[in-house]
C-alpha cells in the first residue's frame, strides 16, 4: 500500500493515486485497483515527460516519473512492467 501519495498541486486534494505504466501481470487485480481509484492506468508507453501522479478529483496529472525506480518496481500485486521496455 502506498500511504504517502502527494496532494494535488491544483486542487490540493489528497485523493490522488499513482499512475501505473505497462501491462499488468494480474489484470483482474489491476482492474480492481483502477476501479477503486488506487491506481491510474497510464498506458503502455513511458516517455520523458510522463507524469507520475493522478488526481481523482480534478483529473490533473503531474510529477516526474523516476525511471530508475520503475525499473525495480515491485508491486505486491505483481504488475509486469517489463513489457514497457521494447
Ligand atoms: Zn486535483
pLDDT at 70: 56
* Cα–ligand 1 centroid distance for 65 (angstroms): 18
* Cα–ligand 1 centroid distance for 12 (angstroms): 6
Position 9 in a domain? no
Cell of 84: 514497457
pLDDT at 4: 77
Is residue 16 very low, low, confident or very high in pLDDT (cuts 50, 70, 90)?
very high
* Cα–ligand 1 centroid distance for 70 (angstroms): 24
Q: Name the phi and psi angles at 48, rounded to 5.
A: -65, -30
* Cα–ligand 1 centroid distance for 86 (angstroms): 32
Total domain count, the chain: 1
Q: Which domain holds residue 32?
A: 16-84
* Cα–ligand 1 centroid distance for 21 (angstroms): 20
pTM, to two decimals = 0.71
Read off the pLDDT of each residue in 31-58 and give the average, rounded to a whole number: 93
Position 79 in a domain? yes
Cell of 25: 501481470
Position 59 in a domain? yes
| d(C-alpha 12, C-alpha 49), whole Å | 22
Amino acid at each position: 500500500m502506498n500511504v504517502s501519495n502527494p496532494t494535488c498541486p491544483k486542487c490540493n486534494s489528497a485523493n490522488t493515486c499513482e499512475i501505473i505504466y505497462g501491462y499488468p501481470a494480474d489484470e483482474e487485480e489491476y482492474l480492481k485497483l483502477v476501479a477503486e481509484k488506487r491506481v491510474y492506468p497510464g498506458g503502455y508507453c513511458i516517455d520523458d515527460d510522463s507524469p507520475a501522479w493522478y488526481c481523482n478529483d480534478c483529473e490533473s496529472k503531474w510529477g516526474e516519473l523516476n525511471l530508475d525506480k520503475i525499473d525495480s518496481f515491485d508491486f505486491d500485486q505483481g504488475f509486469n512492467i517489463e513489457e514497457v521496455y521494447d
